[in-house]
Structure 1
Amino acid sequence: MKKNKLLKISAAAIPILLIGLIVYLFLNFLKKKEKIEALKNVPAFSLKTIDGKTFTQQNLVNEQTKVIIYFNPGCHFCQAEAEELSANYKNYKNIQWIWVASEPLQEIRQFAVKYKLDKQPDIYWCHDEMATLYQKLGMNSVPYFLVYDKNNHLIKRTSGAIKLEKIINNFDEGK
């Protein structure tokens, strides 16, 4: 008798749980799709630079390709990419680099100075207080790259370790 009752409860509960799981996954898919759609053009944002100035999407230069890199100063991949940019910066003409992190401004500043990128034109070091941009853009790891063309349309989106050269060579505007 108890087995029979347990089977009836299981027969009712399992389909309800499966339907709930399917609905949950579908809603997450829609949310992710919505965030990706929002990335097609440079979104509105407001960040603080290591110099204490405000940096927004209005500061992006239309005549340049933009590479937004969300990073963490302690990330080994991010360090390797900064080292690569430092060594090859002069080869990447007409590119505006925006490095963004949610770590304290002092850590971001030290990172920029360490790789001698703090005084380079067209490289901006920004603080994303409370990781609002990170969340807004649906990022899920560091480093995270968004590459926009001269018209602020998304060219490439990628996360994880990747050579900057590989990102830049995927479009003609970089060199």
Structure 2
Amino acid sequence: MEWRSFWIMSENAQRLSNTIRSMLQTKHLISDFLRCKIGDGNSASFWGPLISFISSRGPSQLRLPLDARVSQATRNREWFLPNPRSEEAQTLQIDLTTIDPHTASKGSDQYLWRNAACLFVPEFSSKATWDHLREHSPHVMWHSAVWFKEEIPRCSFITWLAMLSRLPLGTGFAHGG
């Protein structure tokens, strides 16, 4: 598959595997957990989730290809973009004036993940991310009888459903039929 930005790929594309489509459906969650600290601007994508704000016309309006890096949008430590041709492009350029452009002295670009304390840090923790995303439920007294180290997943699942009184027992099955 040719390189395409994660942020512009459609999650409905039939040519993609189910795994890739399910990953693409998490874009709105990922953008809340991921930040890029711009250093030299050579590895950070200029567009990223920004493409959803400015629309697919953004690359042609700002004359920056979809695979453009932040360093390609600057000249001599200043933002270098054409005059805006839409309200979104104008808003973007106004916001960019509040951000210092990249410089080599800042080091390389660094990707940061939100941790349990809602701070952005360079280390990724799937446990902290999962704990933040999942719906927390109260502990039940019978959890250790169902979920334990040597459990057989199928049996545990059926036991779990039985404990919740959610086994799909039809009348034929319940009466021996």
Query: Could you tell me the TM-score, scaled by structure 1's length?
Result: 0.24
Structure index of larger Rg: 2
Provide TM-score, normalisation by structure 2. 0.24
Which structure dedicates a bigger proportion of its chain to helix?
1
Flag the structure with higher strand content.
Answer: 1
